[in-house]
Amino acid sequence: MASSSLSMKSCMNATCGVSTSNSGGWKKGWALRSGDFAILCDNCGSAYEQSVFCEVFHSKDSGWRECTSCSKRLHCGCIASRSLLELLDGGGVNCTSCSGSAGAGSMNVDKTPNGFGKPKVDNNGELQSASANGHLAAETKLMQLGNCIDGIGTRSLLQLQSDETNGSYRKMKQEDILPPVGEIASTIFSNFNQASNASCQTAKPEIHRTVTAAKDLYESLAQTNLSMSLGSTLGNQNPFPGGVVDERVLSKASSPLQQGPRSRHLLPKPPKLALSMDANAGMVSQIRVARPPAEGRGRNQLLPRYWPRITDQELQQISGDPNSTIVPLFEKVLSASDAGRIGRLVLPKACAEAYFPPISQPEGLPLRIQDVKGKEWVFQFRFWPNNNSRMYVLEGVTPCIQSMKLQAGDTVTFSRMDPEGKLVMGFRKASSSIAMQDTQPSAMPNGVHSSESYFSGVFENLPIISGYSGLLQSLKGSTDTHFSALHSASGDISWHKSDKQEDKTRDGLLLPSLLVPERKRTRNIGSKSKRLLIDSLDAFELKLTWEEAQDLLRPAPSVKPSIVTIEDHDFEEYEEPPVFGKRSIFIVRSIGGQEQWAQCDSCSKWRRLPVDALLPPKWTCVDNTWDQSRCSCSAPDELAPRELENLLRLNKDFKKRKMSSSHQPTQEHESSGLDALANAAILGDVGEQSATAAVATTTKHPRHRPGCSCIVCIQPPKWEGEAQAYLHVQRLHDS
DNA sequence: ATGGTGCATGAGGCA
DNA sequence: GCCTCATGCACCATC
């Protein structure tokens, strides 16, 4: 960025480029992000002063629109013309002269001294303006980046927005301000076609796309909000369309822009599973939105997490009777405890106190709740004293839960049927967009069998992986804390265990020395499931990551294995847990043949390796013993940047193909039996079950004892489908 | 031995 | 630092 302090000045009009040390004749142009002003030569400066800069220099560029009032041409998205136009709330632009008379409903893009400050916000459009502000900030930031970062994620972009936005929005997290992806997806796509050509004319196309997407994302917020009408009709006095603003904020009767952190619930953070479901349902007509809570005692304290996310269609189904009105009260994602056999459904305190009858004794009172089929259930609504507080539960819910075939991760909704005031209980199954469990029937801890693929099942069945989250996250290099689930790709693991056995498994089978702090191991995945719930995308990512992790497992260095032969398979048994080797990438060339590439830890150059090469955690060119011409960092790079790009793309394809092949039936995947073995052994206690041949094989390991735990790691894949892949058995038996 | 009950604990969220 | 809530677990009842 040029600075006015430079003695040698260049005109900042890119199409001019006059450069001189002459101190005279320079004019001040538009405001820069630095707070300075653009330096323009006399000629360009004059054009700017006369507000014809873009007409003169950008007339052939894209990004021109017309003032909705006087049809004057306006160059949108151009820094030189920012001060000449205003974005209208309803879309379109006005020139500043017209917008002066137009009054409210428009937002000046540049009325702050530096041109990038807070936009002027009118009284009617706080939300829209705020969003627009975010959009502008995002756009600004992207322009500031000035280079093309293909593939920048929305999350990153929004983080930029969050970081860059002034005022109270600075602290807002993306999740807090955005509705679930699915909810906005349709809006995004519909908006995408309407993308204004005003965006970012100076940016490269990729940036333009990203900015446009971000813009549309934010514009979609308003539309999404507008669909949330039910709450308003049900007595909610939320003045915001759709009432998605945290009512605690509203109670302060001031703008969210002035509320600072209070505005964090501007939009509710949805349960992750709901998000996942919505993502799939994003294109269908039924948009699931978080409805603001209906009236009730203390509803102001209701966390958005519990706001009912019930569709109009579902409401209609529940209601049945056209004379009745269904008032959605709250919902809760079932935890493992809730869905377990104890038959206690923990109620969010605020919800219980807001919508259920007041109780003063721990014994509580029986509560009649009707389910969607019209069947009436009687639960004991009670509480336990807990840390000077109360913990509310519904007791005796097991029959109801079972009749609905609900599992952990599914959602129960509570509504009230007016005018009778009858409580109605609905439910929503957690769905998975990927066939995570095209499985054999598995016995859930609560004894409920479901033939459907539910995420909850993943959690219920694979409780031991909680300890992996940190590891896998670090592998993934993600700061996203959503825990992602691990599963058996082959899906042939059965878990016919009692809870106690399962508990034992949970404790015993975590990779103790490798991954999990002692304390963590005592808790299972089911715990805090509400906080660990994930959307299917996360799980999918983790699935990839887990497979990658498998590929990266190496025997601990300098540890000599003992060889054990079981049924003609050689097992290398190590006394130390495995370590993770260096990550490499694999590709398949269109002409055939696989390649492995790895990046030097020292010079970052990519080197081609034999496909079966296993790299230690740290690897440099010096270790490239396979290619003497490139065994030094001084050796030239084998790949041009474009080739590298192609390489990465091929690797992506390779991974995709690998993923899909891992979902093939067992017989089509030669090593799947061993995969299953590894998965089974890692995921479960293999000692007491012989659900699969693979597990049975492991049971025969001489060191294995019923009830003990072991970890089996498949030798990193032999790419030709080598069936003789042997196993590394990490002996972690206690005694 | 199994199952139910009531409370304690502590992770995580939030102010 | 407080609050919520998921879950562990001790204790007791029952089979």
**CA–C1' distance A271–C9 (Å)?**
29
Q: Which nucleotide is nearest to A483 (CA to C1')?
A: B12
Other CB atoms within a 10 A radius of the CB of residue A295 amount to 14
**SS3 assignment for A122-137:** CCCCHHHHHHHHHHHH
What values do phi and psi take at A608, rounded to 5? Answer: -80, 140
**Interface residues, strand C, Cβ cutoff 7 Å:** A 303, 306, 332, 335-338, 344, 346, 348-351, 386-389, 391, 408, 503, 522-524, 526-530
Q: What is the DSSP code (8-state) at residue A327? A: E
How confident is the model over A506-552, as pLDDT tens digits? 333 333 333 333 333 333 333 333 333 333 334 444 444 444 555 56
Angle at which helices A536-552 and A468-476 cross, to 10°:
90
The amino acid at A176: D
Q: Which nucleotide is nearest to A520 (CA to C1')?
A: B11
**CA–C1' distance A301–B15 (Å)?**
13
The pLDDT, as a whole number, for residue A310 is 62
The pLDDT, as a whole number, for residue A117 is 33
Q: How far apart are CA A163 and CA A408, in angstroms?
A: 36
The amino acid at A602: S
Token pair in block for residue A440: 């054999």
Q: How far apart are CA A78 and CA A58, in angstroms?
A: 9
Q: Which nucleotide is nearest to A466 (CA to C1')?
A: B11
Going by C-alpha positions, the residue among A57, A31, A29 that lies closest to residue A41 is A29
Q: How far apart are CA A616 and CA A609, in angstroms?
A: 13
Going by C-alpha positions, the residue among A715, A710, A611, A717 that lies closest to residue A662 is A717
The pLDDT, as a whole number, for residue A89 is 66
**CA–C1' distance A351–B13 (Å)?**
17
Nucleotides of C under 7 A from a protein CB: 3-9
**CA–C1' distance A531–B13 (Å)?**
10
**CA–C1' distance A498–B11 (Å)?**
26
Q: How far apart are CA A90 and CA A643, in angstroms?
A: 46
Which regions of chain A are under pLDDT 50? 1-7, 102-287, 294-300, 432-547, 662-701, 704-735
Q: Which nucleotide is nearest to A532 (CA to C1')?
A: B12
How far does chain A reach from its first CA to its final CA, in angstroms? 67
Closest residue (CA to C1') to nucleotide B3 in the complex? A342
Q: How far apart are CA A545 and CA A538, in angstroms?
A: 10
CA distance readout (Å), A592 to A510, A588, A589, A612, A648: 40, 6, 5, 16, 17
User: Long-range contacts for A669-674 (Cβ within 8 Å, ≥24 apart)?
Assistant: A669/A490, A670/A721, A670/A722, A670/A723, A671/A714, A671/A717, A671/A718, A671/A721, A671/A722, A671/A723, A671/A725, A672/A489, A672/A490, A674/A714, A674/A725, A674/A727
The pLDDT, as a whole number, for residue A596 is 84
**CA–C1' distance A539–B10 (Å)?**
27
pTM of the entire predicted model: 0.34
Q: How far apart are CA A105 and CA A637, in angstroms?
A: 57
Q: How far apart are CA A548 and CA A465, in angstroms?
A: 16
**CA–C1' distance A390–C2 (Å)?**
14
How confident is the model over A349-359, as pLDDT tens digits? 888 888 888 88
Token pair in block for residue A496: 């016919």
CA dihedral (A603, A605, A610, A615) in degrees, to 10, reads 40
Nucleotides of B under 7 A from a protein CB: 4-15
Q: Which nucleotide is nearest to A527 (CA to C1')?
A: C6
A256: Cβ contacts below 8 Å, ≥ 6 apart:
A126, A127, A130, A168, A245, A249, A262, A263, A266
CA distance readout (Å), A611 to A260, A495, A549, A625, A653: 55, 36, 17, 14, 16
Going by C-alpha positions, the residue among A211, A220, A129, A221 that lies closest to residue A168 is A129
